[in-house]
Amino acid sequence: MAWRIQLSNRPIQRLDILSGQRSLLAAWPNPKQVHYFDLQHGTKLDHLNLDEPESPDRDLPAWAEYQKTLIAPNEVALPVVKGKRLTVYSSANRAIQLIQDGAAFTLNANGSETSLELEPNIEIVRIAMDRTVGLLAFLDYLGRVHIYHRHLRVGIFDTDLTISSDSFPQLNVADGGAAIMVGNGQQIVILESDGRIKRRYTTHYPYGVLACSPDGRSLALSDLDSGVIRIYNASNMLLTHQRFAVDLLADAKRAQLLPVTITTSAAISTLAITNKGALAFSTMGLVCVSNLSRMKLIS
């Protein structure tokens, strides 16, 4: 399993690996357009333009129709869908959803909606939700993580990280709240679901993207200076695998007949990794799927 495809002439917004009976890659050239590929072979299955309903009334039939478009061809819900007004975060089975409408947040759990009350006068920079139990994390510009178990606030926890719009702020929540990973492009803080900090790590290089596997055991980072993708054991932050992104691209099979230009200068804009070591990333509009077996093993 290693393939690549030129999807756009602009940076890819996001990549989601949707693990199921048939694992898929969802690639987003822009916030409203998603392309689905078979993760194993790179076969394109479908693409959709997602247009949220004009009316904010979620009791209307248009909202139910919109909800159907948030489910991938393998029956797994898309993790995050951003529209003009709304952003919807979903669990894998769509039983739990966080709906953001401006500064207002509504949690829908099995059809029952509850308003989520955040601390007033805070500026949120990143939001993440786990895909199984509905653990929510909000990162603010003060470097604090606001943790909720569904609509119940667990607490607000200071990471001591300096967060700014140009510091590559990152936030990931592993399934079941196994770990909450916060980064600012140079440091990484890993928290328990109750807010306790269990590890703090400073990289020897600036990184652009941070991604963790659903089980929280593996962490992937992109080196901004060298273009190397590095994989760490999240429990001890020991480096396990690494390779230049350009080499992974050259090693991958083209999933299209059109020629693909591989450049060494394009920065990695997205990363995703699975529990079994499948890796997806993009440089500009070029998408690549590979795996840890094609990377250098660090003993």
Evaluate if residue 259 carries a pLDDT over 60.
Answer: no
Average pLDDT over residues 72-81: 96
Look up residue 5 and give its two tokens: 């495809």
Look up residue 65 and give its two tokens: 């129709």
Residue 211 CA to its chain's centroid (Å): 7
Report the C-alpha gap between 218 and 46 in whole angstroms.
30
Is residue 54 within 8 Å of residue 73, measured between CB atoms? no
The answer for residues whose C-beta is within 8 angstroms of residue 111's C-beta and 6 or more apart is: none
In whole numbers, what is the pLDDT of the chain averaged over residues?
92
Evaluate if residue 261 carries a pLDDT over 80.
Answer: no
Q: Is the pTM of this model over 0.85?
A: yes
- The fraction of the chain above a pLDDT of 70, given in percent, is 96
Average pLDDT over residues 28-33: 93
Q: Which of 14-18, 213-217, 255-259 has the lowest mean pLDDT?
A: 255-259
Q: Which secondary-structure segment (H or E) carries 191? A: strand 187-191
Which strands make up the sheet holding 44-49, listed edge to edge? 14-18, 24-30, 33-38, 44-49
CATH code, 273: 2.130.10.10
Is residue 185 within 8 Å of residue 192, measured between CB atoms? no
pLDDT score of 56: 80
Average pLDDT over residues 254-259: 58
32: phi then psi, degrees, rounded to nearest 5: -105, 0
pLDDT score of 55: 85
Evaluate if residue 6 carries a pLDDT over 90.
Answer: yes
Provide the domain limits for residue 246: 3-297
CA distances from 282 to 12, 114, 236 (A): 7, 37, 27
Evaluate if residue 38 carries a pLDDT over 80.
Answer: yes
Helices (H) and strands (E) in the chain, counts: 2, 27
Query: In the chain, how many domains are there?
Result: 1
Evaluate if residue 260 carries a pLDDT over 60.
Answer: no
Average pLDDT over residues 176-198: 95
Q: How confident is the model over 101-156, as pLDDT tens digits?
A: 988 999 999 889 999 999 998 999 999 999 999 999 999 999 999 999 998 999 99
pLDDT score of 263: 58
Q: How confident is the model over 200-234, as pLDDT tens digits?
A: 999 999 999 999 999 999 999 999 999 999 999 99
